A and B are shown apart, each in its own frame.
Chain A
């Protein structure tokens, strides 16, 4: 158990809908990262937050948004969902804000299926 929790584990929804994925980092970690893993695109980095502020943005679509709250949990909002958004969404956390200079701990992922 990495100490990172993600809810829900599974999500089935329809095209055009909006969903929210939640991530709670390990106790004491200030950084949260979001990733998408799909059969078509492989693993992609979406976005990085450190202590409530956006630090880096990757291949995140405009239909997607994220935020990190004062208690450090993070939410990834996906809207106007398309079939191609079906994927496994991971979050990870790390202690500091030095992107990719320290160990990240991954949650179990949320599997999203868009029908």
Chain B
């Protein structure tokens, strides 16, 4: 099946810093999404981004489908950005959704 790898596994940031999270996938996909799970466990859907670039406030994401990767940018990080960021890829053939292992982010004040 498709492999989804996220890097780095852990990231510690000082408040105000910028960072880039990466998601690599091993096969062509029909869709890619980024999620954030806060320290209390709540999951939020951040972006649906099969290709191109999208921005939502201090977060933006870019997917280069031909090269099988996606990047999530966090700018001017805040303590509320702490948590785990997951990417998930969807392949219509077989209706298969696969999650990466996540990047755990800690933003220190």
The docked-state distance in angstroms from the alpha carbon of A69 to that of B89 is 28
Interface string of A30-56 (1 = CB under 8 A from B): 000000000000111100100000011
B45 interface residue (CB < 8 Å to A): yes
Q: Which of the listed residues B45, B88, B97, B98 has the most CB atoms from chain A within 10 Å of its own CB?
A: B97
Known: A99-B95, A100-B31. A42 touches B45 (CB 8 A): no
- Count chain B residues whose beta carbon lies closer than 8 angstroms to a beta carbon of A: 19
Contact (Cβ within 8 A) A106 B43: yes
Query: Residues on A close to B: CB < 8 A?
Result: 2, 42-45, 48, 55-58, 88, 90, 92, 99-106, 108-109
Query: Residues on B close to A: CB < 8 A?
Result: 30-31, 33, 41-45, 48, 86, 88, 90, 95-99, 101-102
Q: List 7 A-B contacts (CB under 8 A).
A: A43-B86, A45-B98, A92-B45, A99-B90, A100-B31, A103-B45, A106-B45
